[in-house]
Amino acid sequence: MTSTPFSLGRTLCAMITPFTSSGALDLDGAQRLADRLVTHGCDGLVLSGTTGESPTTTDAEKRSLISAVREAVGTRATLVAGVGTPDTAHTAALAREAEEAGADALLLVAPYYSRPPQDAIEAYFRETADATGLPVVLYDIPARTGVRVEPDTLLRLAEHPRVVAVKDCSNDFLAAQKVMAGTDLAYYAGCDEHNLALYAVGGAGCVSTVGNVAPSAVRSVLDAFDKGDAAEAMRLQHRLIPLIEAMMAGGLPGTVTAKALLPALGLPSGPVRPPLRPADPHTTAALRETYARLADVGSTPSRR
């Protein structure tokens, strides 16, 4: 086991990467969005993750994004930089660049496409963790990578002094609890529908895609639970379900749905980069209607 892990925060947002209308990196927009997210309840931001379109941003853009967001939020929030690639050497190089640019921690997805066995996945994580002095968040999302980070692998990796946390998108709630019970790893729900459930069994918080458009609503669930009001936490999580479903379970990536919603809120987004395509007008209208209903419900008092 590790000692008490580095604190990444509790309500983290998997931030989109804003682009200009021409598709260039919008650093001013990234700063405005980051400031808004932190002001409205996020104590951590994950940059260049899945929602941040990391496969289609360059190494230089990733560095610039970290530097710009750090300038915007200062020390008000932790910055976790996504650096995972299918190539160990490239991943280690990105990790070093993220450290130099001002990241507080690294998000390290399992190597995808080549589908390495568990011993190779473990070696990839260890070699990258050894490349910098930053804490490492392991990202288990087999639906995208094609490989699972098995519980036994996580138990071994927990012994590494810089492996401090897991972003869990495994959809294996039993395995998550097994690793949490046997290690000091801080577990973060990577799927918004699991935010309260994982937190209630000892999770550290969430890395939320929905937080791009509703950061205070996402945070309020965990706030209520921390105050000992489980019923209110449940009510607030249930209030979010229609938006979670619309953004995350409608067949489009969360990046696409978040970027469809943000302009209606007067916030930077810009287009998605190919091969992703923007939401069509019908889907965009439905998303905005769902968000508007959440805002209306949020303005009414609880009926408990």
Q: Which residues contact 281 (CB under 8 A, 6 or more apart)?
A: none
Active-site residue, selected from the candidate residues 167, 187, 188, 259: 167
Map tokens 């610039």 to a residue. Answer: 64
Q: Which residues contact 173 (CB under 8 A, 6 or more apart)?
A: 194, 197, 198
Write down the pLDDT at residue 301: 38
Active site residue 139: yes
Q: What is the pLDDT along the chain (304 residues), one digit of tens a residue?
A: 444 445 799 999 999 999 999 999 999 999 999 999 999 999 999 999 999 999 999 999 999 999 999 999 999 999 999 999 999 999 999 999 999 999 999 999 999 999 999 999 999 999 999 999 999 999 999 999 999 999 999 999 999 999 999 999 999 999 999 999 999 999 999 999 999 999 999 999 999 999 999 999 999 999 999 999 999 999 999 999 999 999 999 899 999 999 999 999 999 999 999 999 999 999 999 999 999 999 776 544 343 3
The answer to whether residues 126 and 159 touch, using CB atoms and an 8 Å cutoff, is no
* CA 204 to chain CA mean position, Å: 13
Task: For residues 154 and 182, give the distance between their C-alpha atoms in angstroms, rounded to a whole number.
Answer: 10
Active-site residue, selected from the candidate residues 124, 139, 187, 188: 139
Task: For residues 117 and 96, give the distance between their C-alpha atoms in angstroms, rounded to a whole number.
Answer: 25
- Domains of the chain, by residue range, sit at 11-227
Q: Which residues contact 303 (CB under 8 A, 6 or more apart)?
A: none
Query: In CATH, which superfamily holds the domain spanning 11-227?
Result: Aldolase class I (3.20.20.70)
The answer to whether residues 132 and 106 touch, using CB atoms and an 8 Å cutoff, is yes
